[in-house]
Structure 1
């Protein structure tokens, strides 16, 4: 009974957090605020009921909203075709789940994901500039930037006041308060009433219909547009897949559980497919909402279902109140969302990573903003693969045909286990080390011998960081044996002091001696 109460409380809390974001993403997409709410309700319910991450909260997200906005701009005055894109994306996600494509997502290099997410964040920020300044917004990044001078000439100072205060609340609300009442909700309620009290003449969301959404049949399009439709659907499906599974990994780390990627993609695809029948915008697993859900005590799928039911009650009975919400308030909320999407983990070490990682990240970043999201990821993966193949082939010549990573247990002595890694440790092989370590049992200390590792990239370093943190929570000690240049590289990007707090040796014998001394002292 306690678990049920916790899930209900967590679900209601997640709904409170989701409300302003759903409204904001709905408006930002071009489909309208109600489409964002419907998306949060429908996807949230189906992803919770049929997905593979029990504590995950799903709904409209920043990255998905950007694609929906692009789709609506591509097919203006043709909402049926837009929903066809959403429908096909849902079908594709279900297919991804059935064939198990989720397991391949982990092979996307970290700089690619970083550049992609930073690009999405910047897109959201730029597209909200006009609403922040009280001017009608554009759906194009380039158009928004090239017409910035025209926008400045049309400033609405009342909207700027509202948006600035909103953004200040979003950034400055103390964490202790935002954990109880989300800053987005504080901004939404307070600034809406403030604008009404001051009788500001600014643009609002407008009328939001009460009641349930109408059913529409999405399969309707011009055969000549099929290529564009499929491209957008693939983009939406892949982005939704990446977005959701990354959130699932976050949920795993918070709950110490393991998600089912196949079920998760089926649940996400089913939810997005149903969204298309009701004119709702699609979405994915939402990291912030999921973390708040877990922190509020969620442990089962019930929390996600309660989240959707709570939002449905709000739509049925309180929708008219939302009509007074200024677009300037939503712009302030979305600009904060854009900043939150930026990958600060990578940005903090931008001047310390290798030139290859930096080039990949910046290439994906710029292509995401100014060209196309699918092309950005495709180009990023291609460049990463070329660099990886070059490094492996280069090291193979030196290491005498040693082109694959091998993991061998050298000794097994009660509390200590040594795992030897040979070859190159990079984005394509780092996860194999993680999987191998999952099988290690009955050991208090694990020595990872990387002296024969010829290449170590940023993705592998971050994977090692996650491994250390994970085993630390299990009271297991990781001891690294690295070449001096790899040790220096690891410590250079160690902004969170994960590696500085463990033993790192340049010689395997030194590591073994350390464990033997430990056993003697504690035997």
Structure 2
């Protein structure tokens, strides 16, 4: 209201805005079916704006929300003392904003690549975005990144190259500096309708149909990330999704380790399958019974890999169990990475290098 208090819309004002939003969405939906010569989003904004001002409809406009008038920026150096105290205040916000900007830009790039069936260069986009944000900071500008909504509107309007993005930036500059009064005449309902259509076109509706068909862990991550995005921000949501996915991956792979046993001439061979890491270390120990095994035991790592230090500790612990029983444990078919992890085990573990040959590619040498 005039006092600056936020209130819910109701009554005729609410129904009028809903009608204008519906009209905007209808124009955006049906116009491309008739012609592609004119961007449907721009046409919807023009029609609704003309309708509101032509019939003097009482609805909120951009100017009622805030003024978009501005001027050309001037160069200045931020007045911040370069102290550690200020750095520790700025750094967390800088990291969060940079993470959100990079994540959203890469997500937007991936989505646009799928729509246009092209392949963008994420590294160049990230470097360019970082340099641009540093440069604009000296002119009083705010940090920015690629936006899914605006990018979808651009692509749906026929934009495919950098010319459309540059044109949008230049036109925005002209509007703010010279024609801000015309922008302030646009009804909020028109912009709301445009963004609603962007949401409808961007949302992966197929994910709702397959939600009951995918593993419950994937469905959990999907719902959790969506909820956290709405409640907090994109950076936290992505971090939560990565952590939950990593825990689910570790839990699932921890159960996939198993052994196949063969006994030949008094030598018992365990053929280990599955990754050996912190999550599967306990299951790894449960595969062996040193007290019941013969004097010589071999573990074949042909179908397994030692992934981390916890896997190494599990092997060392198992070796000690066999040594306490007076028995010998040998390992074979270890990868080079596994041998590097185990090189500090010394004489406790004997790696069968005879059965681990290093193959090289034969080449012809011209005289």
TM-score normalised according to structure 2 size: 0.57
Q: Name the CA distance, whole Å, in 2 between partners of 1:223 and 1:154.
A: 55
Equivalent pairs, count: 258
Post-superposition CA distance 1:345-398 (Å, at most 9, x none) = 422311211111111112222222224543322222111111101222211326
Structural mapping, 1:136-215, within 5 Å: 151=8, 153=10, 156-157=13-14, 158-170=16-28, 172-177=29-34, 179-206=36-63, 207-209=67-69, 211-215=71-75
Aligned counterpart for 2:251 among listed residues 390, 393, 400: 390
Work out whether residues 205 and 327 of structure 1, in 8 Å CA contact, stay in contact via their aligned partners in 2: yes
Matched, 1:363 2:235: no
Higher relative contact order (CA 8 A, sep 6+): 1
Aligned counterpart for 1:401 among listed residues 265, 273, 276: 273
Q: Name the CA distance, whole Å, in 1 between partners of 2:202 and 2:118.
A: 24
Work out whether residues 275 and 282 of structure 1, in 8 Å CA contact, stay in contact via their aligned partners in 2: no
Matched, 1:354 2:215: yes
Could you tell me which residue of structure 2 aligns to residue 282 of structure 1?
A: 144
Q: Name the CA distance, whole Å, in 2 between partners of 1:179 and 1:281.
A: 34
Q: Name the CA distance, whole Å, in 2 between partners of 1:216 and 1:179.
A: 45
Q: Name the CA distance, whole Å, in 2 between partners of 1:151 and 1:239.
A: 30
TM-score normalised according to structure 1 size: 0.42
Work out whether residues 154 and 164 of structure 2, in 8 Å CA contact, stay in contact via their aligned partners in 1: no
Work out whether residues 184 and 333 of structure 1, in 8 Å CA contact, stay in contact via their aligned partners in 2: yes
Instruction: Go from structure 1 to structure 2 and tell me whether the alpha carbon gap of 1:251 and 1:162 turns closer, same or farther (over 3 Å shift).
Output: closer
Aligned counterpart for 1:291 among listed residues 155, 160, 165: 155
Structural mapping, 1:235-274, within 5 Å: 235-252=96-113, 258-274=119-135
Q: Which runs of 4+ in 1 moved over 6 A?
A: 221-228
Q: Name the CA distance, whole Å, in 1 between partners of 2:181 and 2:241.
A: 45
**What is the Cα deviation at residue 263 of structure 1?**
1.9
Post-superposition CA distance 1:71-109 (Å, at most 9, x none) = xxxxxxxxxxxxxxxxxxxxxxxxxxxxxxxxxxxxxxx
**What is the Cα deviation at residue 290 of structure 1?**
5.7
Q: Name the CA distance, whole Å, in 1 between partners of 2:198 and 2:115.
A: 21
Q: Name the CA distance, whole Å, in 2 between partners of 1:366 and 1:245.
A: 20
CA RMSD of the aligned region, Å? 3.9
Q: Name the CA distance, whole Å, in 1 between partners of 2:163 and 2:144.
A: 21
Work out whether residues 192 and 325 of structure 1, in 8 Å CA contact, stay in contact via their aligned partners in 2: yes
Work out whether residues 18 and 189 of structure 2, in 8 Å CA contact, stay in contact via their aligned partners in 1: yes
1:284 is paired with a residue whose SS is coil
Q: Name the CA distance, whole Å, in 2 between partners of 1:254 and 1:159.
A: 31
Of 178-187 and 362-371, the range deviating more from structure 2: 178-187
Work out whether residues 367 and 375 of structure 1, in 8 Å CA contact, stay in contact via their aligned partners in 2: yes
**What is the Cα deviation at residue 401 of structure 1?**
3.3
Instruction: Go from structure 1 to structure 2 and tell me whether the alpha carbon gap of 1:209 and 1:269 turns closer, same or farther (over 3 Å shift).
Output: same
Could you tell me which residue of structure 1 aligns to residue 180 of structure 2?
A: 319
Could you tell me which residue of structure 1 aligns to residue 343 of structure 2?
A: none
Instruction: Go from structure 1 to structure 2 and tell me whether the alpha carbon gap of 1:327 and 1:248 turns closer, same or farther (over 3 Å shift).
Output: closer
Work out which of the two has the higher radius of gyration on C-alpha atoms and give 1 or 2.
Answer: 2
Gaps of 5+ in 2: 261-271, 277-302, 305-367
Post-superposition CA distance 1:421-440 (Å, at most 9, x none) = x89xxxxxxxxxxxxxxxxx
Q: Name the CA distance, whole Å, in 1 between partners of 2:175 and 2:241.
A: 42
Gaps of 5+ in 1: 1-130, 139-149, 405-421, 424-523
Q: Name the CA distance, whole Å, in 1 between partners of 2:76 and 2:222.
A: 41
Could you tell me which residue of structure 1 aligns to residue 354 of structure 2?
A: none
Q: Name the CA distance, whole Å, in 2 between partners of 1:154 and 1:364.
A: 36
Q: Name the CA distance, whole Å, in 2 between partners of 1:186 and 1:255.
A: 23
